[in-house]
Structure 1
Amino acid sequence: MASKMASDDFDDQFLTCSVCMLHFRDPKILPCLHTFCKQCLQEWATKQQPLECPTCRTQVSLPDQGVNGLRTNFYVNNLLDFAAAKKGAEPGVPCQVCEGNVEGSKSWCADCAKLMCESCTLLHRKFPFSEDHEVPPENTLNAENDVSKFYRKRHCRKHKNQELVFYCETCNALVCTACTVVDHRPGKDHNPVEISTVAQRKKETLQGLLQNINPRLKEIQASVKQVERKMSNLMPSKEAATDQAKEYFRQLADLLQKREQEILSQIDEQCRADGKALQTKKEAIEFELAGLTSAQTFCQQAVEHGSDVHILEVGNQVQTRVETLLAKQLDLESNWSEFQFVEKTAVVDVEKEVDNFGGVKTNVDVSRCKVAVKPAVQGFTCIAELTTTNQEGRPCVINSKAVTTNMEDPSGTNIPTQIQMKSEGVWEISYVPKVTGIHKLEVKVNSQHVAGSPFDVNVKDKDTPVLTIGRKGSGVGELDGPTGVAVDKDGNIAVVERGNKRVQIFDTGTGKSLNSFPVDGKNPFGIDVDSNGRFLVTSWGVNFGIRLISKEGELLNTCKPDGMANPLGVAVLKDGRMVVVNWGQKSCLLLQPDGSLIRDIGKGQLHKPRFVSVDESRGVMFVTDESAHKVFAFDLDGNLKFYFGKKGQNDGEFKSPQGVTIDPAGNIIVVNFDDGRLQVFGRDGTFIRTVTSVKGGGPHGIALTPDGYIAVACYTGRCVEMYRYI
């Protein structure tokens, strides 16, 4: 286990691994420049694939050697050594060689990184292998406070007793004196220079970068302060909005309660009025009933019990009374129907309008919000991107409840959608269509339709291009003999046209032509984009070469290194070096950023190389050979690592392979010219799957977009086809 440092000379946090929270042990640097213990990274890598930096979550593609292949942070090692040496010079610390002699003065061997007592120091200086080691005594250790002057010496892995004192600029490698005689002898293939000379140039470059960093830091720091000011207003804004919302809905509740009391009062009043009217009616009917009943009783008694004299005396009178009562027109109807409460506005209608009862107001302008529908493929997770925009036209954040989506397939069946905020003001709407055909995607912000909603989404099957860019011709948006294809820094598709002798840029979402610029040379062919967003374009035949072209289409440089003849495919590395297929010499050239030759690779092994792609995480380049029907893998030192494939139409076989590219997992994607099959192979060349068979004729270059589509330049089809990959 690593131990905590007792010294106060350094920021202890800087020397502490953020995973194990102990001092670094064999510190390794990730590409994002965060440092961790080698053992911590190895354990982290077993739990997570692909590996992500524990600090910034940047995905890391490990080299073939795994964590061991990562660079060691020697600066941190030097700090730890310096602290250990300073501490070792204190009384009571044992010698790290004999593990005794806690008393007495100590010395530190910068070559071996060992603290030694006087006896061990004397012996150390007598041995032939260590007599030249730098061993400062205790008084020097106690007096030394400049960490930059204290460092562990680096020795050659091949010549163990030799210090690394040279740098081979051709190979980008530190070498010792013996290496300059054996493996890196000065000449055409190697250029060893003293480390101090190269380091000084690199320091000047880094100092220039530091000068560029400071203004950017100030800009970012000002932005942080602005965000902090807004954050300080967040809670007061929340409290004010909460109070306003409560007051608003309290008033709505009061209005509803008041209306309820009014309706209940109306019901009471109606009940009383109807009750009084019915009572009056009842009394009138009962009065008529009493008169008729009385006459009935009198008449019946006269008939049943009266004498003849009595009947004659009262008979006429009874007859007149009864006939009058029977002839009387009576209103026996009550003229009343049962009253009831009527919903003038149905609850379900109110429910639909509830969303309009207040809302969270932001400066979002729904009329400016935009939706970009990405090409959709049946059975794949498909996306559309919503950008919520303010009145100034800038992306702005709103709450997730304000965004609602709904999708239906051609039959009207609902398709579940998910909404997730990707970045400030940008929302990803994802869904998985189960059928092909036109789907309807409805997108609302604050209950208002975004312009264009509902959108038509044409879902295609995986074997159909999701988008076909271009058609035969020489006009804007038209193509003639497209060969190379690449993805620029903005995610757009850059296409080299051999027939029109130009590069044309297309929007990957719509296929619309955005820009174009001419290319010198008779037969432009390959293209790639460097880390600065500039284009590298090759051409063969008359006026051949590699041309560096700005993002705006301005020619910056043309290089024709020695030994190059008819360059085809090209791949540029992050550090600016290039690999170009040297078709005329049946090889590939590794070039410096300025176009000067580093080495010739594959001569005598390649037959008709066409395209190249580089897996920088492993330092391996993959070259397609159309006549050998193989893909060759070389390391950047020029060694053949392996090859795979043979002629045929079965899985894993090739028929004139052309374009090649590498996916984020390190898999190799290759397209055939003859049958159009687009196949995927593992890192070792093992066949994985066939993506599709390209419909456009004569597939050449291919490129993988960041959002999981493959662009294929179809030479005879005079188009670029886009297929779903992941």
Structure 2
Amino acid sequence: MASKIQGSADFDEQFLTCPVCMLHFRDPRVLPCLHTFCRECLQEWATKQQPLECPTCRTQVSLPDRGVDGLRTNFYVNNLLDFAAVKKGAGPGVPCQVCEGKAEGARSWCVQCAVLLCDSCTNTHRKFPGMKGHQIVTQENLEASEGVPSSFQRKSFCPKHEDQVLTFYCEPCQTLVCVACTVVDHRPGDKHNPVEIGSVVERKKRDLQKLIANVEPREKDVRGTLKEVERELSELPTSADAAIEQATAYFDQLIALLQDRKEEVVQQIDSNRQEVGKSLETQKEAIEFELAGLTSASEFCKQALEHDSDVHVIEVEGQVRQRAEDLLTTPSDLTARPSQVVFSEGTAVAEFRHDVARAGCVQVRHTGKVDASKCSVEIKPAVVNYPNVSPLSTIDEMGRPCVVAKDDVTATLTDPSGHAVPTQLQEKGRGLWEISYTPEVTGKHRLEVKINGWSVAGSPFEVRVQSRDTPVLTIGREGDGEGELFHPTDVVLDMDGNIAVLERGNGRVQIFDAKTGQSLRSFPVDGGSRSPWGIDMDSNGQFILTFCNDFGFTGNQAIRVYSREGKLTKTLKPDCLRLPAGVAVLQDGRMVVADFTQQSCLLLQPDGSLIRDIGKGQLQNPQFIAVNESRDLFFVTDFWVHKVFVFDLEGKLKFSFGKPGQNEGEFSGPTGITVDPAGNIVVVNCGNGRLQVFGPDGTYLRTVATVTGGDPYGIALTPDNLIAVACLWGHCVEFYRYK
């Protein structure tokens, strides 16, 4: 509990008040979470709640065996309470609490007895032998103090020997004891070692100072975050109101558009109704006129037949016939006319409902303002006609990742001639974006990235776009120093995503950052120079290395296991091993090793014992191995046969692919091999440097690049979709874009 006492020694009542009973602390006890409460309050709280939670911070508390009584007393609060009482009661006219005012007023305070004394009683008090060690604080000292005097402290008495002051500390028991305890319960020996408090307190103070040094920066950060959260809380209504205004305006516009469309459709219906009505009225009049003529002729004929004389019939017959013929020969329009105005839904309600559900998006964003000067873009070497990505990190004023609207971020890429290259911006997480583009020409491109119109740090950036056959990163040059390589034969990714390079010429493993190419560390390997050949890593992160001799002499062939730190932990020399080359380690620790002399692959137990010999009579010069455990298959390159052979772990040949040649899909001394996550097989030719990809069934898919470093051997695929190639005579490792 932090002190809230002012320099004038006035006390904050809240600081001296128990948060439960809201009265001054009575026998204050400290919980493990460092919050203080009255002993009685805690006892009552403990009866109501199990498990017990701190009333202030809700932290679950495990009480000692003695319950609340076993909790430590807050002596500091007790001292402050005493001091507050004395400061309040030591004024003019306050009687002595011993002689009850028979002498002059109280002038002193006995810390141990916790009573006010006049001068006379103070002198008498000091004469008693049992009270000689009591601390007397005078009124002058109280009045002159700006805070609580360091001497104003109750002496702490032993709970077992109530007349004894706690003056020793038993280290093994980690408890304060008195002199009597050092004789009885804490006698020095194997289990107890009581030492004077003075010899321990300085060390404890130093420990507390270290804690303060560790806590204060965190406290500062938390205070800063709290201030930021309070600011965000204060700004939340404003941002929410603004969002409501924007949403209201947006949907009002949509509603207005629908209303306009509604009025337009209704007006069109009305117009169509009038047109159709007019047309029907015209047709009706024509039909009515024709009907009247036909009815008149028909009635005239009927009357002549029924009532006229023969003479009259003869006379009118010609006239009636003429009229009827005129009516029958006159063309009339009896075709049906459009008679209904029908409304049809252009967009189905269900479809429109789906669109409406997507209208408007509500997001909760960090209100910290993005600081373009703190944002960063990682520029990687690009390859022509390949999708390339530049990660963008958006940072706020406090240096934290923050969310920004997509419309606030712009990324413009131009090629060497100034033409714009299409870019795409995709948010990948809080404060993390990907700027992707596929350049169509090589050369220096210009990438300009802005946020809210402000350029991010370093913008515009130079993006070097290289040809497919140009490595995006090259590690090492000939030599034996840090970052230099000599005859690297194989590569593997370690558990941290770094690239471990096996140097046959220098007899060591050197580990590089796979993104930057920086040398991180190295360690020597046993077996002599020009002896190590293949490297892989087991599921525990250990390096598995094969050792052989250039000329096939026996004696130093072995498999050695090194820890992550490079310490040799195991050496295996199975009798079946002759001239080991590439190695692949399975998840259960078994190993598949290519052996030049045996002209086969050896499936070995983790202890090096032979399980079976695979490929005998089919392989001639096996080099490197890749395993696809999901398919229970492994792939091995054969340098002399110019093929890749595929076996299952039972030793059965499943299929093979490839033939000698210089064309795509053909092999010229295949060496390094690996399998990508989709099961595709990547193989490099030592003869012509072609780095090719084949489907899981061995069908040729494409050529990644032509390695320029010279004599490529072992390869590995990195998480960034780069292929690392160990170039034996180029004394380097080259990285090529895979996807």
TM-score calculated relative to the size of structure 2: 0.48
Give the greater-gyration-radius structure (CA): 2
TM-score calculated relative to the size of structure 1: 0.49
The structure whose RCO (Cα within 8 Å, separation 6+) is larger is 1
